């Protein structure tokens, strides 16, 4: 697609948490990243509320390995405890994604400049992302680099198919659906020759409502132009 980007993301550890393991505190990682995790990484590379990123596919480059660590998570009521988290280790993925304009953000219709957003996104990939990259959780630092999708040798290139069972696909938020509901999507991913191809969010049939929400609107009450911001910070003579 014209507005597609491709990049490599890697790290020493990743924790794409299986929701079933969150309740007891002993977190366990999925074997592969979820659509939502990859979307979050892509948004850390470059994001504006005008656009929605769609992850088309991911290529798993390294073998799937796990490592358990003793962690002392902070208890918000005071003190801490001991838990064992099972991480993926030495991960590397090639990601292909594209953006589309958010049809539910009519307040930002003036910002629908495809060439601008695509060029900034490509520069952001070259720079390693605009924000910190995390592989599932904050303690798992990731690194983004530009790549040509499909280049190099992947560990699973010659394995026809691996089925991962039922997994979380992602979350539907009100500002991307137009509905004042939070929803969790599920699906059954298959990796074919090292590649997982994702369905679009609206194509997922296993959807569960998980709460209520509302989209945040943008306007003169909560936005400032760059010129006004510079004038406030440095004085009127600096803003020009």
Q: What is the pLDDT of residues 168-199, one digit of tens each?
A: 999 999 888 888 889 999 999 999 999 999 99
Q: What is the pTM (predicted TM-score) of this model?
A: 0.86
Q: In Å, what is the CA distance from 150 to each residue of 7, 42, 59, 61?
A: 10, 18, 8, 10
Stretch 111-121: mean pLDDT, rounded?
94
Gap between the Cα atoms of 156 and 191, Å rounded: 9
For domain 4-239, the question of CATH label 3.30.70.2660 is answered with yes
- Predicted confidence band of residue 228 (pLDDT cuts 50, 70, 90): low
Strands 181-187 and 66-71: unpaired
pLDDT band at 207 (very low <50, low <70, confident <90, very high): very high
pLDDT at 223 over 90: no
CA 96/CA 193 separation, integer angstroms: 16
- Choose among 15, 85, 86, 55: nearest CA to 195: 55
Cα 125 to Cα 129: distance, rounded to the nearest angstrom = 5
Q: Where are the domains of the chain?
A: 4-239
> What does the pLDDT look like over 126-179, one tens digit per residue?
999 999 999 999 999 999 999 999 999 999 999 999 999 999 999 999 888 888
Please say if the pLDDT value at position 41 is more than 50.
yes
């Amino acid at each position: 697609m014209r507005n597609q980007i491709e990049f490599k993301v890697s790290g020493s550890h990743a924790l794409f948490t299986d929701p079933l393991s969150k309740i007891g505190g002993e977190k366990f990682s999925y074997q592969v990243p979820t659509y939502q995790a990859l979307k979050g990484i892509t948004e850390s590379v470059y994001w504006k509320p005008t656009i929605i990123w769609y992850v088309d596919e991911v290529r798993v480059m390294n073998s799937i390995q796990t490592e358990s660590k003793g962690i002392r998570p902070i208890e918000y009521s005071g003190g801490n405890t001991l838990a064992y988290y099972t991480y993926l280790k030495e991960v590397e993925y090639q990601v292909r994604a594209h953006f589309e304009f958010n049809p539910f953000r009519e307040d930002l219709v003036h910002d629908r400049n495809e060439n601008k957003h695509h060029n900034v996104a490509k520069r952001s990939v070259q720079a390693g992302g605009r924000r910190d990259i995390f592989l599932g959780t904050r303690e798992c630092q990731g690194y983004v680099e530009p790549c040509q999708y499909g280049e190099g040798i992947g560990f699973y290139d010659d394995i026809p198919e691996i089925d991962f069972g039922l997994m979380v696909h992602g979350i539907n938020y009100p500002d991307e659906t137009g509905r004042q509901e939070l929803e969790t999507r599920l699906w059954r991913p298959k990796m074919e020759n090292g590649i997982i191809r994702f369905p679009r969010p609206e194509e997922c049939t296993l959807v569960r409502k998980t709460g209520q929400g509302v989209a945040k609107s943008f306007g003169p009450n909560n936005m400032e132009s760059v010129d006004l911001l510079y004038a406030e910070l440095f004085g009127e003579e600096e803003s020009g």
